[in-house]
Amino acid sequence: MNKVLLEKDGRVGRITLNRPEVMNAIDDELPAELERAVEQANSDPGVHVIVLSGAGKAFCAGYDLAYYAQATAGSGHEATQQMPWDPMKDYAFMMRNTQHFMSLWRSHKPVIAKVHGYAVAGGSDIALCCDMIMMADNAQIGYMPTRVWGCPTTAMWVYRLGPEKAKRMLFTGDRIDGREAQDLGLILKSVPEDELDEAVDTLADRISGVPVNQLMMQKLVVNQAIEAMGLHQTQMFATLFDGVTRHSPEGLNFKARAEEFGWKQAARERDLGTFDWTENRPINPGK
């Protein structure tokens, strides 16, 4: 089964992340399939705008932690190497995924992310690479692994929010709903869940009436302004630091906890702040 689908709907190219059984979580194949779908939509002169969405209950729940965090040595998809680790091996893998996600940013055709359910962790990386994001009011976006075991490699938070609001999100690892994301200026618009399809289609239809060359020129101009701020260098640091977070003492403790108790418990303790990853023990509420 294809993990990313592409269909043409008039002048709209509809790309769908297609791992609904795991909320479209990212594995080794999905990023490359996403880039191929973007390239295919870009090569079709009849496509003027792309809508990216997720099948099932969510847009994308991030990296598949059952696939990565619980992976054991020799499984072939370890996100944590045996020590001593090779930072450049890790960087090569993660930067490859970052560049796959950035195909959305590089796309000559505008891309609208339609977010329902969750766009969290690596799923937020994918959404934030799009030109515009529309969310359901009750959808959630955030990068919880900044609490331990992750750094958003696309580094788009600061470019969309500015430094202070980006720090608020990255220092806490909080998830926020569509309404708050709109209030912060992270996304274009939040609407009730039952109005999301219509709202996205209305915007896509409006954009689709513009010639492709005009859309391409406007996107290149706006993107150049962001890239001139040092986007490439920021992503290089972020991708390196992502590897460091997973191979730090705290990151190794998180990995060991996920292996022993399952990633759901480890992630719950991370998100709630009920575990001291430095001391490798539960936090005593009375201390």
Query: Rounded CA gap, 249 and 92, in Å?
Result: 22
pLDDT for res 17: 98
pLDDT for res 70: 61
Phi, psi (5° rounding) for residue 134? -120, 135
Each domain of the chain, given as residue ranges in start order, spans 4-247
Query: Rounded CA gap, 278 and 253, in Å?
Result: 8
Query: Rounded CA gap, 80 and 242, in Å?
Result: 11
pLDDT for res 4: 98
Q: How many CB atoms lie within 10 A of CB 287?
A: 5
pLDDT for res 125: 98
CB 175 within 8 A of CB 142: yes
The sheet carrying 49-54 orders its strands as 4-9, 12-17, 49-54, 111-115, 132-136, 189-191
Classify the C-alpha dihedral 158-164-166-167 as positive or negative: positive
pLDDT for res 82: 84
**Which residues pair with residue 8 across a beta bridge?**
13
pLDDT for res 284: 76
pLDDT for res 253: 96
Q: What is the dihedral of CA 194, 200, 190, 147, to 10 degrees?
A: 100
pLDDT averaged over consecutive 10-residue blocks of the chain (287 residues)?
96 98 96 98 98 98 81 58 89 95 98 98 98 98 97 97 98 98 98 98 98 98 97 97 95 92 93 96 76
Q: Is 177 exposed, middle or buried (0-12, 13-18, 19+ CB in 10 A)?
A: middle
pLDDT for res 276: 97
CATH number of 4-247: 3.90.226.10
CB contact set of 272 (below 8 Å; sequence gap of 6+): none
DSSP state, residue 129: T
Helices vs strands, H then E, count in the chain: 12, 11
pLDDT for res 285: 63
Cis upstream peptide for 84 (omega within 30°): yes
**Is the full-model pTM beyond 0.85?**
yes
